[in-house]
Amino acid sequence: MPKLIRAKEPFRFYTRLHLSELTGLRVTNLSQLLKAIKEVPGSCIYHHTHRFLQQHQYLSPEPPNDFAFWVSDVLGEDELGEKLASIDTIQFATIRSLREKIAATIEEYLRGNALAKLKFARQGEELHFIKSISFVLPTNYVVYDLKEFRDTVKNITIDSIYFHIFEARLRLEKKDNDFSYWISTSLGNKELADEISKLDPYTYTLESLRQVLIRIIDKRLQD
Amino acid sequence: MANIEDYIPIVGQPIIDDLKLLADRLQGKVIQHINSTAVGGGVAEILHRMVPLLRELGVDTRWDLIKGGEYFFEVTKKFHNALHGRQADITQRDFDIFMETSKKNIDEVNIYGDIIFVHDPQPIALIKKKKDNKWIWRCHIDVSEPNQKVWGFLKNFIVQYNASVFSAPSFSQKLPIRQFLISPSIDPLSDKNRELPQDVIDSVLKKYNIHTDKPIITQISRFDRLKDPLGVIEAYSQVKRYIDCQLILVGGTAADDPEGMSVLEEVKEKAASDPDIHILLLPHSDIEVNALQRVSTVMIQKSLKEGFGLTVAEALWKAKPIVASNVGGIPLQIKHKYSGLLCHSVEGAAFAIKQLLNSPQYAKKLGENGKEHIKNNFLLTRHIRDYMLLFLSLSHSEDLVYL
């Protein structure tokens, strides 16, 4: 095994725990959905595009966002559901731009499918808008080299991995995920950092994402 | 009683580490829970487990009860039914009885917490004692379509709280205070949910003279019309025409539920002539309930309304295939055709039960998926975490909080 590089700055793992806040806002058709998507707080858009990742870790593939699921499952608009499900979330650097893409997708669909506006959810099947309140706190896990990093990734909570991969990039509007940033800047291993950056984390369950990270790092440790 | 470290083999060390990090940030705060009964029903059950664990984590948590007589609990049961959207003849006299008892409790209950956590409508009027502490109202009831007369009455109190908590998104109402979504939970180490040795299960079967030679369909619920026990018997009868099976209806009664005995009599009458229907009144026999769930082929929860439906989580934790109504918090626990089957009617329930009895591999897969879903989202450790986050949120209004 090659000599381990000690980081210039250690990596402290944070965890992010979320609490769901109800807004009292519910929608029953596509026009209402579109209006709400344009107006609700960013933390609502974040919640409805990321909730599945955490709550349904064992189901894969899953609809990656609540909007896609509701449009297909409740309104029966499968084509729009598919378009919303296939929005490439990783391509968007901010919640604002993700919100605009979702809204534009619905608008475009409604232009070509005016009758879709007439479909209503049955009572009890409305979409309820929820906000994610995120609490970010440092854990006691601090690492100085790649081996320590790998060992901690093995054992840290899913919430911590989630924070550093998803939330840091999109919600905190950092350009890259935290892992890649540290590996590149503090360990100087740009190749490994790029390899992690290129993953599309939205296509894995969180547990399988953990396993992929470990595998990639293990390979580098053996090189 | 289990210690917090006992949960590590189930949820992992890092989850417990996170709980300790949160608990550190609540040092010096006194949390005071208040409800109406120490035994029976989901609220008391959760508090019995949660309070000692929060204390062990270092959060000074206490639990007090209000007092109420027979008339008061009859009125609050009427409120309960009305909030669930059932027809209820609520009179001014009912509100007067509620306020008379509430006034006594306002005089007698000692409020000492920094955060007062009030459960359900019975103690709601204690908010009159609010000073500079924070008050949370926790609604465990399905209020998606509440009787407006009762909701309007309660709303006068609710709006004085700092925050409210509901169990499902559809229960959310237009309110001027913050509303949080926190699902209840089950304790994997409680007598109701822990693994049981086979000889214990066998002894329970022997005690109630239940044989496992026919598939067993079971509903565990209080004898309450909203749990639709008569509908369960009807669904079973429809299944029985095609598959020789047996039905177990297991229920207890709660101290604040005066209606239970009359419903039990109706159920006995409907089941009278069928020896394959077992009606068991098991108040607080958690190990026996656990054993009966474990021997069941299919679990059913055919509620007409449901605050959350913890019995669904209990069944799924035991990897049991389940048929349940698409009401209240149940769809949060069951994703149709992935972790159970949802139904909307007696006929739908009967059809789903037949499917599961005839396709054991499919039933097994649903149960396994269900267990994983409960592990990730509905265990006590997640619930404790959410409550600590809730307490912390009372001092933060932003959406992204750095602690």
Cβ neighbors of B365 (< 8 A, separation 6 or more) are: none
| Contact: A139, B17; criterion CB under 8 Å | yes
User: Is residue B387 assigned to a domain?
Assistant: yes
Number of helices (H) and strands (E), helices first, in chain B?
A: 15, 13
pLDDT, mean of residues A47-73: 76
User: Torsions phi, psi of B319, nearest 5?
Assistant: 60, 35
Q: Are residues B179 and B203 in the same domain?
A: no
The residue in chain A having the minimum alpha-carbon distance to the alpha carbon of residue B174 is A24
Structure tokens at B30: 């006194």
Mean residue pLDDT across chain B: 94
Give me the helices (H) in B189-283, please: 198-207, 229-240, 260-271
pLDDT at A65 over 90: no
Tokens 């006590």, residue located: B380
CA dihedral B195, B197, B199, B205 (to 10 degrees): 10
Domain check: are B235 and B153 in the same one? no
Q: Give pLDDT, residue A205.
A: 81
Q: How far is CA A164 from the centre of its chain?
A: 10
**Statement to judge: residues B20 and B146 lie in one domain:** yes
pLDDT band at B320 (very low <50, low <70, confident <90, very high): very high
pLDDT at A1: 55
Domain membership of residue B35 (yes or no) is yes
Name the residue range of residue B68's domain.
4-185+379-393
Evaluate whether residue B400 is within a structural domain.
Answer: no
Under DSSP, the state recorded for A73 is H
Q: Do B187 and B283 touch, CB atoms closer than 8 A?
A: no
Spatial contact of B368 and B108, defined as CB atoms under 8 Å apart: no
Query: Is B148 among the domain residues?
Result: yes
Interface predicted TM-score (ipTM) of this complex, two decimals: 0.88
B36 & B123 share domain: yes
> Cβ-count burial of B309 within 10 angstroms (0-12 exposed, 13-18 middle, 19+ buried)?
buried
Spatial CA neighbour of B220 closest among B160, B282, B163? B282
Q: What is the pLDDT of residue A61?
A: 44
Same domain, B220 and B348: yes
The shortest CB-CB distance from B180 to any of A21, A26, A156 is to: A21
Q: What is the pLDDT at residue A64?
A: 67
Tens of pLDDT along A104-137? 999 999 999 999 999 999 888 899 999 999 999 9
Q: Does A41 touch chain B (CB under 8 A)?
A: yes
- Tell me how many degrees the CA angle A101-A103-A106 measures, rounded to the nearest 5: 110
Q: Which residues pair with B65 in a beta bridge?
A: B35
pLDDT score, position A9: 92
Give the one of A24, A130, A157 whose C-beta lies nearest to B173's C-beta. Answer: A24
Could you tell me the pLDDT band of residue B84, with boundaries at 50, 70 and 90?
confident
Overall domain count for chain B: 2
Minimal Cβ distance to A22: which of B172, B377, B400: B172
Q: Could you tell me if B48 and B169 lie in one domain?
A: yes
* Statement: residue B233 has pLDDT above 80: yes
B143 closest CA partner among B134, B130, B153, B133: B153
Q: Is B269 exposed, middle or buried (0-12, 13-18, 19+ CB in 10 A)?
A: exposed
- CB contact set of A58 (below 8 Å; sequence gap of 6+): A205, B369, B372, B373, B376
Q: Which residues in chain A are contacts of B373 at CB distance < 8 A?
A: 55-56, 58
Q: Which amino acid is at B151?
A: W
Strand extents, DSSP E, B29-176: 30-35, 60-65, 115-119, 134-138, 163-166
What is the spatial distance between Cα B226 and Cα B219, in angstroms, rounded to a whole number?
13
Which tokens hold the place of B100? 């008379």
Answer whether residue B398 is part of any domain: no
A6 CB neighbour count, 10 Å cutoff: 12
Cβ B399–A155 below 8 Å, yes or no?
no
CB contact under 8 A, B17 and A140: yes
CA distance B245 to B248: 10
Domain shared by B373 and B383, yes or no: no
Over residues A1-22, the mean pLDDT reads 88
DSSP classification of residue A145:
S
My answer on whether B256 and B355 are in the same domain is yes
Any CB–CB contact under 8 A between A10 and chain B?
no
H or E segment to which residue A135 belongs: strand A127-143
CB B301 within 8 A of CB B324: yes
Is A20 near chain B, with CB under 8 Å? yes
Q: Contact B156/B150 with Cβ under 8 angstroms? A: no
CA distance A209 to A164: 12
Nearest residue to B65 via CA among B114, B32, B98: B32
CATH label of the domain that carries residue B384: 3.40.50.2000
Residues of A in contact with B306 (CB under 8 A): none
Residues B102-161: tens digit of each pLDDT? 999 999 999 999 999 999 999 999 999 999 999 999 999 889 889 999 999 999 999 999
Q: How far is A144 from chain B (nearest CA, A)?
A: 20
Contacts of A137 in chain B (CB under 8 A): 21-22, 25, 402-403
Q: List A residues 117-146 in contact with B (Cβ-Cβ < 8 A).
A: 124, 126, 128, 130-137, 139-140
Measured CA to CA, the distance from residue A19 to residue B388 in angstroms comes to: 10
- Do B385 and B252 share a structural domain? no
Q: Per-domain residue ranges for chain A?
A: 11-15+136-222, 17-130
Residue type, B375: K
B280 within some domain: yes
Examine the domain organization and report whether B144 and B204 are in the same domain.
no
For B119: left if phi > 0, alpha if psi spans -120 to 50, otherwise beta; the answer is beta
B33 lies in the same domain as B117:
yes
> Which residues in chain B are closer than 8 Å to A159, comparing Cβ atoms?
18
